[in-house]
Amino acid sequence: MMKRRTYLKAFVFMSCCLSFINILVTLQAFRGLENNDKVVDLLISQKLVNALNNGTLNSRNKIESARQHTSETGNANTVRRNNSTKSEIDSVNIEKNNNNTKQIQPENEKKKRYGSMYRPLNFVPNTTHDKSHMVPYLSNDIMKKYLALPESNYTQRVMILTPIRNAERTLDTFKTQLASLSYPHHLLSVYFGESGSTDKTFEKAQMISQDLKSLQNFTDSRVINLKMAGGIHGNDNFRHKKEFQKYRRSFLANARNRLVRYAFKHGGVFDHVLWIDSDVQEFPSDLVQHLLFARSDVVATSCLVKSHEFKGIYDCNSWRETALSLKHQSQMPQDELVLECYAETERIFLPYLKIEGRIVKLDGVGGCALMVKADCFRSGLLFPEVVYKRHIETEGLAKMALDMGYSVVGLPFVEVFHKKRS
Ligand SMILES: Nc1nc2c(ncn2[C@@H]2O[C@H](COP(=O)(O)OP(=O)(O)O)[C@@H](O)[C@H]2O)c(=O)[nH]1
Ligand SMILES: [Mg+2]
């Protein structure tokens, strides 16, 4: 009897041990699967980022590309359930891409036409009527040829004006770029016009101003509270919705006008106003010299965005009218706002005018990096806050400047880079 009970106990004990080991093995297996899933998830999200960056840079294509990759993610999930490898996932995605050739231009075609950071073109291609928004990468030799500056003894004073709102995260880079300007710092002042920030933009800009004055020898630097409320804010897709543009751009025009008025009242004497947006992350150290070299009243640079080994147009507001664009506008009411990048308007973007040389005539300008002679503002030029000849803000300023008899030009080879799209 005792013996049978001992056997029974031993049997129960053994069964418990076996079940426990079984549970451990199963748990381990699940964890392994989970980790595999994480790796696959990472691969998928990386592909999404790549696709967004590799597609042409206009927003419509970006949306298409994002849509396509949402369905790719679905595909990959199916593959994951079947325990497939990375190369299998890649081949499924490549197949999917092949079925969508309309949306994604083949890499080789893109490289041949626009060059790339690694294989720049050794000539200036004619992209005048290009609709892709991609901008050719040109070799250093070509760029040097079109960007050579004469020796000069600079004496002109430049007031840099930058409107800021929730710019805390971009201000450090912005300050580094300002500090590396090779124009004599004692001829430069920087005024920031802040309003509506919900982060520490104001405090950060104050610290930067202090450094620019004491460590970088700038003549003056201040942060001004513009005392405004409103505007349109949010990520690129939201902020750039067509229906918001009249109000958004009018608000920005008002901010710019307040800032420039303050500068004239409190900023001493200066010869030029240089507008630079706080989310422009890279500009050439000789930016000021290039803008002065144009010897014009209103001067804009190309404003681009980098995307892996390619680059594309960010600011669509620097353009030249064509006969066709003017014909279209002549059929519109006077107070209708014409906006670039929302439909084909048949205008030519500044970066596509390189074929004409280093200083080209424009009819519209953007505010990424924009120099305006101080005398233009003194004689009444401003950023229109209501529609002026079907345009507003910076583009409206260009239209108004032309009407006042001022010269409006662009420097297609001088490229500043806006931060990546959000
Ligand atoms: N003071 C002020 N600056 C603003 C406001 N909204 C934007 N900005 C600044 O104006 C510049 C251009 O604005 P942004 O939204 O980047 O224009 P986008 O690049 O054309 O979309 C940037 O330096 C912004 O920080 C605002 O409401 N108030
Ligand atoms: Mg911006």
pLDDT at residue 237, as a whole number? 86
Q: How confident is the model at residue 25 (pLDDT cuts 50, 70, 90)?
A: very low
Domain map of the chain by residue range? 2-98, 134-418
If DSSP codes are grouped into helix, strand and coil, which group holds residue 364?
Answer: strand
Q: Is the CB of 420 under 6 A from ligand 1?
A: no
Residue 151 clears pLDDT 60, i.e. is over it = yes
More confident residue, 66 or 240: 240
Whole-number Å distance, alpha carbon 277 to ligand 2 midpoint, is 6
Q: Is the CB of 415 under 6 A from ligand 1?
A: no
Q: Is the CB of 416 under 6 A from ligand 1?
A: no
- How many whole angstroms separate alpha carbon 221 and alpha carbon 191? 5
Residue bearing the CA closest to ligand 1, atom 6: 165
pLDDT digits (tens, 9 = 90+) for 136-150: 999 999 999 999 999
* Global confidence as pTM: 0.78
Place of tokens 């927003």: 59
pLDDT digits (tens, 9 = 90+) for 301-350: 999 999 999 999 999 999 999 999 999 999 999 899 999 888 878 999 99
More confident residue, 189 or 66: 189
- How many whole angstroms separate alpha carbon 33 and alpha carbon 38? 9
pLDDT digits (tens, 9 = 90+) for 73-110: 222 222 222 222 222 223 223 333 333 333 467 788 88
Q: What is the largest CA-CA distance in the chain?
A: 117
The amino acid that residue 402 corresponds to is L
pLDDT digits (tens, 9 = 90+) for 348-377: 999 999 999 999 999 999 999 999 999 999
Residue 152 clears pLDDT 70, i.e. is over it = yes
Q: Is the CB of 226 under 6 A from ligand 1?
A: yes
Residue 115 clears pLDDT 50, i.e. is over it = yes
Whole-number Å distance, alpha carbon 418 to ligand 2 midpoint, is 7
Whole-number Å distance, alpha carbon 81 to ligand 1 midpoint, is 45
Non-local (6+) Cβ contacts of 67 within 8 A are none
User: Is the distance from CB of 336 to CB of 387 less than 8 angstroms?
Assistant: yes
**What CATH architecture is 134-418?**
Alpha-Beta Complex (3.90)
Residue 267 clears pLDDT 50, i.e. is over it = yes
Whole-number Å distance, alpha carbon 73 to ligand 2 midpoint, is 30
Q: How confident is the model at residue 256 (pLDDT cuts 50, 70, 90)?
A: very high
pLDDT at residue 13, as a whole number? 57
- How many whole angstroms separate alpha carbon 14 and alpha carbon 55? 62
- How many whole angstroms separate alpha carbon 260 and alpha carbon 283? 22
